[in-house]
Amino acid sequence: MSDTRERELLVWATTESLRQFPTARPAERLAVVSGDASFRRYFRLTLSPADAQPKALIAVDSPPATEDNSAFVHIATELIAAGVRAPKVLAVEYAQGFMLLEDFGDKMLLPALKAAGEKGASVLYFSAFDALLALQAGLNAESLPAFDKPKLLSEMRLFSEWFCGGLLALELDAGAREVVENAFDFLADAALTQPQCAVHRDYHSRNLMLLDDGELGVIDFQDAVRGAYTYDLVSLLRDCYICWPRALVEEWSRFFYERRADASLAVSQRGYAAFRRDFDLMGLQRHLKVMGIFSRLHLRDNKSAYLADIPLVMDYFLSVARLHPELKDMVVLFENAVLPRAEKQLQALISDASGT
């Protein structure tokens, strides 16, 4: 065992697994599954004999000082009731920050998409659309925190603080800061004018799991908010971990729009042209945030693997921002000040992080 919390988690998870499955023989050790971009850690507790109960459960170390475990439990319950395959919460210890969950296995959507390629990915995305539509319809948006303007702005300012100032050591003068803040303000207002619904906030190929029964499981949903109807879709289709041709993204987004418009008068009245603009602008807000978060993970949390994903996020941002005249000053700043320094420094940082 690597630390005291892990030992305490094993004792607690063993006790709770026996309470749930009295004939089980829990393993004597936890196996590391993963950590994510938060302070949560996930472990697998194997159970035997396998024919008497699940083969394994997931024990979660989720420190209450940093993680909202009550939100996780509440949202998981609502998602399951809505027909979304979220992991069942079998036990929870709020004071310690321990949870015992149904095990969704290790098959993330991401490698399946890469293996499927352009010809086969549509079927997988259609399953993800179904789950997203169920989430948007089934979660009570009014009970969720509002993804309001202060929150939208604070997320985008991670770009200024951690990507520009931290990772690139790029000092923006007063004129540049004004350009950046004007862009932030424009994107925040654009998000708030969209139809609002329940938003997962991290709906992408690493948080969707291919289950043994063929269904798609949804994880990492505890930060759900009430926000823009395009947020989760752009997280999925302009995914920070995989890129598709623009025409294919257009085809998939149109398919989703038609499904969404059938279920929502507000969406159908808004029209497809507005939807495409909403989709673009929401993606720009998210990708500014992500550049900051990936930089912070490297600089503050010593999680450097995300550096390799920043170039794709930068490309998403610049290619889309160029399509919107309201952002012409931001595009010029990004092209002339940010991009040259990022291209030079990121290559070295990524090489150092990978040991090559």
Q: What is the pTM of this model?
A: 0.93
Q: For position 266, what pLDDT does the model report?
A: 80
Query: Do residues 292 and 321 both lie within one domain?
Result: yes
pLDDT at position 31: 95
Same domain, yes or no: 86 and 129: no
Residue 118 and residue 86 share a domain: no
Instruction: Please check whether residues 41 and 149 belong to one and the same domain.
Output: no
Angle between helix 109-138 and helix 246-263 axes, rounded to 10 deg: 20
Write down the pLDDT at residue 32: 93
| Cβ count near 148 (within 10 Å) | 14
pLDDT for the residue numbered 1: 43
Tell me which of 102, 122, 155 is where a domain ends: 102
Verify that 146 and 251 share a domain, yes or no.
yes
Range of the domain at 27: 4-102
Same domain, 273 and 297: yes
SS3 assignment, position 243: coil
Residue 106 pLDDT: 94
What total of structural domains would you count in the chain? Answer: 2
Length of the chain (residues): 356
Residues paired with residue 59 on neighbouring β-strands, in sequence order:
43, 100
Residues 262 and 350 in one domain: yes
**Residues 254 and 314 grouped into a single domain:** yes
- Using the 3D structure, point to which of 56, 84, 102 is the last residue of a domain: 102
> Based on the domain organization, do 93 and 180 belong to the same domain?
no
| Pair (69, 154) in one structural domain | no
Which residue ranges of the chain lie beneath pLDDT 50? 1
For residues 330 and 180, the answer to whether their CB atoms sit within 8 Å is yes
